Amino acid sequence: MAPVAWQAAYLVSRKDETTDAVTLVLGVPGWPGHLPGQHVDVRLTAEDGYSTQRSYSIAAPDHGAQVEVTVQVVADGEVSPFLACDLAIGDPVELRGPIGGWFVWHPQSSRPTLLLAGGSGVVPLMAMVRARHEAGSTAPMVLAYSVRTPDDVIYADELARRSAHDEGLAVELVHTRRAPAGDGRPAGRLSRDELVGWVDRLGTDTDVFVCGPTGFVDAVADTLVEVGVPAQLVRTERFGPSGG
């Protein structure tokens, strides 16, 4: 299969999500379309010809000639600080994609779905939540989102709105270091009992998508298989330390 070609893109708009995460809407003329869960490569080239690239999950369903990515700044990173802070409206970048065919969710699916996110691993899963909404689906879906503190919740307002109004969708926030005042769940890592509870709610014949740091993904995926979810139904996407 021929490699995916680089395409010219430009920044259309930006939105701050948290103190260190920003959503960028990129205009991509001739974009071929994508499925929720796929990602793109973004390349920057300096005036002296030096170029570097990073991979970013697509944050929204297919909307024609626009691609939405959410960038979390990596301290001392080479690409993410520039994209998040310095890329101006109309500035050019190069984009390659869509990439990936396994970690995808189809909006026409009526199967129960469990989404498990660690940190910025919520981005491709948010594309699935949004695609479900746009399709008018009421298929059972649970998004369990593990974050350090309430301030680290990307898409916080939209997730609260989707949880309140989208029939069949439940959003569960897991705060590992500091929980909000009045929260019924004390701060701590996602537990085996919580995973069992979500599997009991949806059933073991459930499509599962897990995305986040490698340690989080491996621990969650292993536990899900141990409690009876068939391994072939558990799709994973991992990320580790990078140059940012």
The number of folded domains in the chain is 2
**Mean pLDDT in residue range 30-47:** 93
177 plus 229 within the same structural domain = yes
Question: What pLDDT was estimated at residue 242?
Answer: 47
Q: Which of 223, 169, 235 is nearest to 191 (CA)?
A: 223
161 plus 208 within the same structural domain = yes
47 plus 143 within the same structural domain = no
60 plus 124 within the same structural domain = no
Residue 183 tokens read as 């929260």
d(CA 6, CA 95): 6
Q: Which of 58, 82, 6, 7 is nearest to 243 (CA)?
A: 82
Residue-averaged pLDDT of the chain = 93
E-strand spans in the chain?
Answer: 6-18, 21-27, 39-45, 51-57, 66-72, 92-99, 113-118, 141-147, 169-175, 207-213, 234-239
**Domain CATH for 168:** 3.40.50.80
Lowest mean pLDDT: which of 22-31, 55-64, 86-95, 176-185?
176-185
Q: What is the pLDDT of residues 150-179, one digit of tens each?
A: 999 999 999 999 999 999 999 999 999 999
Question: What pLDDT was estimated at residue 240?
Answer: 58
**DSSP secondary structure letter of residue 82:** I
- Asked if the structure places residue 134 within a domain, the reply is yes
138 plus 170 within the same structural domain = yes
- Asked if the structure places residue 207 within a domain, the reply is yes
48 plus 151 within the same structural domain = no
Q: Choose the final residue of a domain: 69, 99, 129.
A: 99
60 alpha-carbon distance from chain centroid: 9
Q: Choose the final residue of a domain: 42, 77, 99.
A: 99
- 3: pLDDT confidence band, cut at 50, 70 and 90? low
Exposed/middle/buried for 186, CB within 10 Å: 0-12, 13-18, 19+? exposed
Q: What is the pLDDT of residues 182-214, one digit of tens each?
A: 888 899 999 999 999 999 999 999 999 999 999
117 plus 90 within the same structural domain = no
- Asked if the structure places residue 104 within a domain, the reply is no
Residue 102 tokens read as 């396994």
Residue 125 tokens read as 């899963």
Whether the pTM exceeds 0.85: the reply is yes
**Mean pLDDT in residue range 115-126:** 97
Residue 198 tokens read as 């979500």
Q: What is the pLDDT of residues 67-80, one digit of tens each?
A: 999 999 988 888 99
- Asked if the structure places residue 108 within a domain, the reply is no
142 plus 67 within the same structural domain = no
132 plus 235 within the same structural domain = yes
82 plus 122 within the same structural domain = no
**Domain CATH for 65:** 2.40.30.10
Q: What is the pLDDT of residues 122-152, one digit of tens each?
A: 999 999 999 999 999 999 999 999 999 999 9
Element (H, E) at 62: none
Q: What is the share, in percent, of the chain residues with pLDDT greater than 90?
A: 86
Contact present, 93 and 11 (Cβ < 8 Å)? yes
- Asked if the structure places residue 85 within a domain, the reply is yes
- Asked if the structure places residue 244 within a domain, the reply is no
Question: What pLDDT was estimated at residue 74?
Answer: 87
d(CA 44, CA 92): 9
Statement: residue 2 has pLDDT above 60: no
Question: What pLDDT was estimated at residue 78?
Answer: 86
73 plus 127 within the same structural domain = no
- Asked if the structure places residue 135 within a domain, the reply is yes
86 plus 127 within the same structural domain = no
d(CA 45, CA 81): 15
* Rounded alpha-carbon distances, angstroms, from residue 191 to 181, 188, 197, 198: 21, 8, 10, 11
Q: Choose the final residue of a domain: 99, 134, 164.
A: 99
Exposed/middle/buried for 55, CB within 10 Å: 0-12, 13-18, 19+? middle
- Asked if the structure places residue 105 within a domain, the reply is no
Contact present, 57 and 117 (Cβ < 8 Å)? no
Q: What is the pLDDT of residues 227-241, one digit of tens each?
A: 999 999 999 999 854
Residues in a beta bridge with 58: 69
Count of C-beta atoms within a 10 Å radius of residue 89 = 10
Segments forming the whole domain that contains residue 76? 6-99
